[in-house]
Amino acid sequence: MSENTILDLFNEHVVKRPNDVALVFEGEFYSYKILDDKSNQLANYLLKNCEIQLEDLVGIKLNRDEWMIISLLGILKSGAAYVPIDPHYPKQRQDFIENDTKCKTIINEEFLEKFHLVSSTYSKNQPDNVVVSSRNLAYVIYTSGSTGKPKGVMIEHRSVVSFLTRIDVQLGFEDLNIVAATTNVTFDISVLEIFGTLCLGKKMILISEDKLSDPEMFVQEIKNNKVEVLQLTPSRLHQLTNILFKSPLLHLQKLLVGGEAFPKEMYNFLKEHTNLETVNVYGPTETTIWSTFLNIKSTNKLSIGKPFEDEFIFILNEREIPQPIGVVGELYIGGAGLARGYLNLPELTMEKFIKNPFIEGDHLYKTGDLGRWLPDGRIEYMGRKDDQLKVRGYRIEVGEIENVLLRIPEITDAVVLPYIKDDLVTEIIAYFVSNKEYDIKTLRTYLGQDLPDYMIPGHYVRLECIPLTNSGKVDKRMLPSLGGLSLEIGVEYVAPKSETEKRLVAIWQDVLVGDRIGVHDDFFDLGGNSLRMTRILFKINNEFEINVSLKILYRFITVYELAEFIETMYENEEIVSDQFDSLKL
């Protein structure tokens, strides 16, 4: 295993190519030397003012811009490890992560304002007397926890370096230079996009939150910057497919798809209709980003492929005995990417990071994923052993959602399950037992105090009791389907009247689950989310032959409001132009 650190790899390129562009954000260019100078100043400021010690944890709570990248480097150069905290998370979740990590400090906008006032007084040289080793922590990223609280996964420098070294060779990154950074920094695949550029001498195109939320602008940014490597979750790819492949992608060379199960329909489409080299990648946060890969052009059978070098996978039965080819078992992963464990959770660490029964002194991560070996040495993914879900690429323990539901007054029992529509997007359904009547808006408000948006169920069903099997387990087969059983959203039903309203309702019914949508129903109370919003945007622009942006849809979130806006577009183009200007489109 390499003894280099993330900083060693970055410094190598600062020396080799100081004036080369390392980062592009909103048309601004930042060289390797600029990132090095500014991150050194920040590291020296952290050491002096926050008394950072080796392996202290420093929170980073910033929106996407160049200072998010500079801050990550500055934290590592100070000897600390970074803890990403989404500023849009509910306050309770932010507070939990800050308290659990006992962050030495939090880099947020207020912190940077103070730093900028005095930054010129700090040295642009790397801090003295800070010696970071490959075995030191690089970051702690939180994933959903079955106990009702998220858990922090501790990743060391050497695991990241090993991953970056092997992808450069095995995924053929050596001759590719321009990489898009599209992923939220709280999601570990962002490490590939950020350090897979800065540590390998490439150029990162950091895409802003505004452009990420608008499919047309997002794809245009990819094309304008001649991006060669793009990484997406299947849900995100599905959202972009109609736009992404509408015209030739002259510069895009490699598409990495992972974070969720790869839908068969998408696999077939990419094989048959594009020449783009697409790689299906798989791996949990605990084994550092990706552990296996499959170039989909190389086979006619969808799988998660083979392990990277320095990674190894065993498929074992319940007695930890290897399964023969074709027999389903649980995936255990070992090798260079293995995490140190879970922060402040030694018992869970011992449970999940077991002693390797085949190699003395080694460990394996018990994934909970099921799979089987194929005759050609690849692995076919067969789902989960437990109730863990993947929604929009995020790993979710349903127990965490169930625990929050049970804290709501008068709710005595709850079960959370996935709902898959069109074999592509996993939704979350909450079944609960309560003597009190609740509408969706009230439940979403309760849950939103503790859970991030991607963990809030889109659909709710109130039951008299949760059905059980003879053995006392939840009988999932007996739970009712959504049809006609989901809760009222707290708004009186008003049927569509105008032709525009009827056409919009038809679009909403096609994208959302439910066949009784009123013109005053809130899009998000009906189970809407950002992915569904972009699907509706595409359908509206096609149906009405107009060109509205995602910002318009976020402003007009009922059929009635949106119909009024669209009718105004047809009636008075001048008024529409003024409205667009006021929204800064």
Mean per-residue pLDDT, 376-392 = 83
- The whole-number pLDDT of residue 583 equals 46
**Segments of 361-515 assigned E as strands:** 363-373, 379-384, 388-391, 394-397, 411-421, 425-434, 459-463
CATH number of the 499-582 domain:
1.10.1200.10
- The whole-number pLDDT of residue 581 equals 47
Domain range list for the chain: 6-373, 388-478, 499-582
Q: What is the pLDDT of residues 519-557, one digit of tens each?
A: 888 887 777 777 778 888 888 888 888 888 777 888 888
Mean per-residue pLDDT, 316-328 = 92
Q: Could you give the CA distance from residue 430 to residue 426 in angstroms, rounded to a whole number?
A: 13
Domain 388-478 classification at class level: alpha beta
The β-bridge relationship of strands 329-335 and 363-373 is antiparallel
Q: Which residue has the higher pLDDT, 324 or 520?
A: 324
Q: Return the bridge partners of 411, or none.
A: 434
Q: Which of 59-63, 251-255, 297-301 has the lowest mean pLDDT?
A: 297-301
Percent of the chain with pLDDT over 90: 51
Q: Which residue has the higher pLDDT, 397 or 27?
A: 27
Using alpha carbons, list the distances in angstroms from residue 472 to 66, 90, 369.
53, 35, 24
- The whole-number pLDDT of residue 473 equals 67
431: pLDDT strictly greater than 80: yes
Residue carrying structure tokens 């898959």: 420
**CB 36, CB 42: distance < 8 Å:** no
The β-bridge relationship of strands 229-232 and 254-258 is parallel
Q: What is the pLDDT of residues 73-112, one digit of tens each?
A: 999 999 999 999 999 999 999 999 999 999 999 999 999 9
- The whole-number pLDDT of residue 471 equals 58
Q: Which of 91-105, 145-159, 260-274 has the lowest mean pLDDT?
A: 260-274
- The whole-number pLDDT of residue 513 equals 63
The β-bridge relationship of strands 151-156 and 137-143 is antiparallel
Percent of the chain with pLDDT over 70: 92
Asked if the domains at 6-373 and 388-478 fall in one CATH topology, the answer is no
- The whole-number pLDDT of residue 578 equals 47
Q: What is the pLDDT of residues 125-143, one digit of tens each?
A: 999 889 999 999 999 999 9
232: pLDDT strictly greater than 60: yes
With cut-offs at 50, 70 and 90, classify the pLDDT of residue 426.
low
Record the tokens describing residue 449, joined without a space.
């105090």
Mean per-residue pLDDT, 167-196 = 92
Q: What is the pLDDT of residues 114-124, one digit of tens each?
A: 999 999 999 99
Mean per-residue pLDDT, 219-234 = 93
**CB 183, CB 189: distance < 8 Å:** yes
Mean pLDDT estimate for the chain: 88
Mean per-residue pLDDT, 480-503 = 70
Q: Is 19 exposed, middle or buried (0-12, 13-18, 19+ CB in 10 A)?
A: exposed
Q: Could you give the CA distance from residue 507 to residue 527 in angstroms, rounded to a whole number?
A: 14
Q: What is the pLDDT of residues 386-412, one digit of tens each?
A: 777 777 777 788 888 888 898 898 898
Q: Which of 12-21, 61-70, 420-429 has the lowest mean pLDDT?
A: 420-429
Q: Which of 19-23, 202-206, 359-363, 391-395 has the lowest mean pLDDT?
A: 391-395
Residue 232's Cβ-side half-sphere holds a number of Cα atoms within 13 Å equal to 22
Nearest Cα to 204, choosing from 184, 232, 176, 166?
Answer: 176
Q: Could you give the CA distance from residue 288 to residue 311 in angstroms, rounded to a whole number?
A: 10
Q: Could you give the CA distance from residue 216 to residue 246 in angstroms, rounded to a whole number?
A: 11
With cut-offs at 50, 70 and 90, classify the pLDDT of residue 461.
confident
- The whole-number pLDDT of residue 479 equals 83
Q: Could you give the CA distance from residue 14 to residue 38 in angstroms, rounded to a whole number?
A: 13
Q: Which of 244-248, 249-253, 366-370 has the lowest mean pLDDT?
A: 244-248
Using alpha carbons, list the distances in angstroms from residue 511 to 376, 489, 532, 557.
39, 17, 7, 14
Look up residue 204 and give its amino acid. M
- The whole-number pLDDT of residue 576 equals 43
CATH number of the 6-373 domain:
3.40.50.12780
- The whole-number pLDDT of residue 574 equals 44
